[in-house]
A = this chain, B = another copy of it.
Amino acid sequence: MYPFTEGSYAPRNGWYVAAFRNEIGDDLLSRWILNQPVVMYRKDDGTAVAVEGRCPHRHFPLGASKRVGDAIQCGYHGITFDAAGKCTFVPSQEKIPGVYTIRSYPLVERGLWAWIWPGDPAKADESLIPTLAEIGFEIEGIYAKPFYAHDVDGRYQLLNDNLLDLSHLGYLHGTSIGTTDDAATPEERDVTDRRVSSRRVMRNTPPTPAVRAKHAIEGLVDRVSGMEFYFPGFHAGIGEVRLPEGHERAGELINFSRVWHAVTPAKTFTTNYFFAMGSTDRQGVDDMVEYLKPVLAEDMFATVEIEKIVQTLDDLPPELMLKSDGTAVLGRRILQRMMDREREEARLARSTP
């Protein structure tokens, strides 16, 4: 499936953000994740859990069902499953068939997020979750806040592509968070087995409209803009603005922010998109909630419109790549490799007696 090979949808063995932690409470929270209905809730002891959202009896949505203690009672025929996915009650018979279970997903709360592992639970290694240190969440004095959770009508990779190529900042977001220097400046790239990092350092560059609206800046600034893509679906961004060489307070940090985008496949052509922000400037973060709404709407507009074109065209021509697509191409290649490996493992598992 575009932009991956035929039959490739999304890696399953990886940590995705399933929800902001503050979305998970006593009530059942339903969400599609990698084409599976999932239900999340917080047990009486406060632990957040995620289980399959489909009753195996008649496919009724467990997210539209009823919580009974720490268990979910199917809203259709009353079959009940505990938080580990084990059936604990069948209203019509004493004996509970051994096959009566639903999937229980590894779910880890870290930072603002609840991370889910949709694949083989035996492989769910928590050390693969981005650490709070590496995503800038432990910076002294940082104030982090979940902004928006959206269900976007477009396939997830369009949002990853968006975040893997910040040359769009000065165009899609030219009236707010970017300038034409974002695209004009070459990026530095760094790859590890956990993430791809890209960064642009702009010196003596105009401030973005957003920064200009906030600070009484005359003249040019130095800017750093970067994004780190933790596979398979988390992007940690950095933005820094300093007074440039020559200024009397040269080098002074006048604006600093961290942004966190989580991109989680929902259904084949829809995506769960979580955006959060942090800064040492608490007021600055609170002010951005409204300011960034239209900016995120621009990204979602691009995603939805491209999805329409991709779905309508019979023969979608291959994209014409530019040098600035290097990071996005790399990101796609890494996800493709994860999917290829999973397919190969599944093939081997089937052929092994």
A76-B171, A76-B172 known, 8 other contacts, Cβ within 8 Å? A35-B312, A35-B313, A57-B320, A59-B306, A64-B305, A75-B302, A91-B167, A91-B171
- Shortest Cβ distance from residue A23 to the other chain B in the assembled complex, whole angstroms: 21
- CB within 8 A of A183: which of B91, B168, B324? B91
Q: Given contacts A64-B305, A78-B183, A305-B64, are A92 and B170 in contact (CB under 8 A)?
A: no
A 50-80 to B, binary, CB cutoff 8 A, 1 in contact else 0: 0000101111110010000000011111110
Q: Given contacts A306-B60, A309-B54, are A171 and B77 in contact (CB under 8 A)?
A: yes
Measured between beta carbons, the chain B residues less than 8 angstroms from A59 are 306, 309-310, 316, 319
Provide the bound-state CA to CA distance between A287 and B312, in Å. 39
> Residue A93 at the B interface, CB < 8 A?
yes
> Residue A48 at the B interface, CB < 8 A?
no
In contact, A57 and B322 (Cβ under 8 angstroms): yes
| 26 A-B pairs whose Cβ atoms sit less than 8 Å apart in the complex | A35-B314, A37-B309, A37-B312, A54-B309, A54-B313, A57-B319, A57-B321, A58-B161, A58-B306, A61-B309, A76-B171, A76-B302, A77-B165, A77-B168, A77-B171, A77-B172, A77-B324, A78-B167, A91-B171, A91-B183, A92-B184, A92-B323, A92-B324, A93-B324, A97-B322, A99-B320
- Interface positions of A from 81 to 95, Cβ below 8 Å from B: 90-93
Measured between beta carbons, the chain B residues less than 8 angstroms from A184 are 91-92
> Residue A317 at the B interface, CB < 8 A?
yes
In this complex, how many residues of chain A approach chain B with their Cβ under 8 Å: the count is 55
Provide the bound-state CA to CA distance between A77 and B321, in Å. 12
- Shortest Cβ distance from residue A85 to the other chain B in the assembled complex, whole angstroms: 13
- Shortest Cβ distance from residue A187 to the other chain B in the assembled complex, whole angstroms: 9
Q: Given contacts A35-B312, A92-B183, are A74 and B322 in contact (CB under 8 A)?
A: no
> Residue A229 at the B interface, CB < 8 A?
no
- Shortest Cβ distance from residue A131 to the other chain B in the assembled complex, whole angstroms: 32
Q: How many copies does the complex hold?
A: 3
> Residue A31 at the B interface, CB < 8 A?
no
Chain B CB within 10 Å — which of A32, A91, A93, A180 has the most?
Answer: A91
Measured between beta carbons, the chain B residues less than 8 angstroms from A77 are 165, 167-168, 171-172, 183, 324
> Residue A261 at the B interface, CB < 8 A?
no
- Shortest Cβ distance from residue A181 to the other chain B in the assembled complex, whole angstroms: 9
Measured between beta carbons, the chain B residues less than 8 angstroms from A75 are 171-172, 302
Measured between beta carbons, the chain B residues less than 8 angstroms from A100 are 320
> Residue A267 at the B interface, CB < 8 A?
yes
In contact, A322 and B93 (Cβ under 8 angstroms): yes
In contact, B312 and A32 (Cβ under 8 angstroms): yes
Provide the bound-state CA to CA distance between A92 and B321, in Å. 12
Measured between beta carbons, the chain B residues less than 8 angstroms from A317 are 56
